[in-house]
Chains A and B, each alone.
Chain A
Amino acid sequence: MTPVFECSHITKHYGAKAALSDINLTLEPGRIVGLLGPNGSGKTTLIKLAAGLLTSTSGTLTICGERIGPLTKSKVSYLPDKDYLSGWMSVSQVIDLFHDFYENFDRVKACEMLNRLQIDPEQKLKTLSKGNREKVILILTMSRSADLYLLDEPIGGVDPAARDYILQTILTNYNESGTILISTHLISDVERILDEAVFLKNGTVSIHSAVDDIRNQYQKSVDELFREVFAC
């Protein structure tokens, strides 16, 4: 089976500084993977490379065996860490936009989820609260049946109830043959939904293992292991 994400000797330099050094990482379909590391470890850089917002200094990266391009972008659903939609658009306009450009977007499902949150589709994005805006974007991202979901810090800066909602939404709405890559530093919240954990330290992969194996091998949770590995 073609791996959904395959990184080979990926290096990304910003001037003299190497954000990523010689990353080799393969992800199989149908897994929920945590990309774990402290701020500045290169998580966002790796995700942006996969999303097509950056090009690597060297190395190859393929999604479902294809190089990054319009085809991979149709297979990848990306949730960035920042606000990236035009504030003047209404929720329904954004839904139309996703519907126009993405064949694998389930409009009915998205509308249903928005309904349940009682978000008025005619509201402009800039008038929504920060929490609601993030939920809307999450719903849009998870309403696509993609082969690879890239979620960059989906629960950072969000209250615990919203965190539960977000994790629930991720669990119940993803395409089971697809893979989800969640980058976060809030590991204890996310650990229970992960199949595998990838530790990214100073731009290199220090551990890539199934969560159950980590618990068996190290006799501690991924969160506890993380605190050890990344102790200051």
Chain B
Amino acid sequence: MPWNFDPGRPIYSQLLEMIRLQIVSGRYAPGEKLPSVRDLASEAAVNPNTMQRALTELERTGLIYAQRTSGRYVTEDSDLIASAKRTIAREKTGVFLQEMKQLGYGPEQVTEIINTIDSSENADQNVSDSDAEKK
């Protein structure tokens, strides 16, 4: 199934985010070899050149590196991965808090709501998180 994209932004930057998410969530383990550009492009149903551009940009963040003849690998630096994970979490939370602010809820009220939901539906939160990652 082809991946879904936001119309207003370049596809390559969205691909970059998706693969980054796959790395920080553990779909690709540290040190693991990534599929070839062609295979990844085929999986996402995108132009290989676009996928190539996304991967090149991702290399710059250090999360992946290229071995000249054998392809691309996820970094073994688990600290880097963890820090990327935190950064993404902060970004998403920031966006979330902004949306809550529009509703009129400040951070303390949001924390209250989270605690209420968390205690009654613990498992569901995780399931919907991993659904969002797969997209």
Contact = CB atoms under 8 A, between A and B. Distances in A.
Q: Do chains A and B touch in the complex (CB under 8 A)?
A: yes
Interface of A: 30-32, 164, 167-168, 171-172, 176, 191-195, 211-212, 215-216, 219-221, 223-224
Interface of B: 2, 5, 7-12, 38, 41-42, 44-50, 53
B49 A171 contact: no
A194 B47 contact: yes
B9 to A, nearest CB: 6
Q: What are the 9 tightest A-B residue pairs by CB atom distance, in nearest-first order?
A: A221-B7, A212-B10, A215-B10, A192-B46, A193-B47, A219-B8, A195-B49, A32-B47, A172-B42
Contacts of A211: 10-11, 50
18 contacts: A32-B49, A164-B45, A167-B45, A168-B42, A171-B41, A171-B45, A171-B48, A172-B38, A172-B42, A191-B11, A192-B2, A192-B11, A194-B47, A195-B50, A212-B12, A215-B7, A216-B10, A220-B7
Contacts of B44: 192
- The A interface is mostly helix, strand or loop, or mixed, namely helix
B16 to A, nearest CB: 12
B45 to A, nearest CB: 6
Contacts of B9: 215
Contacts of B45: 164, 167-168, 171, 192-193
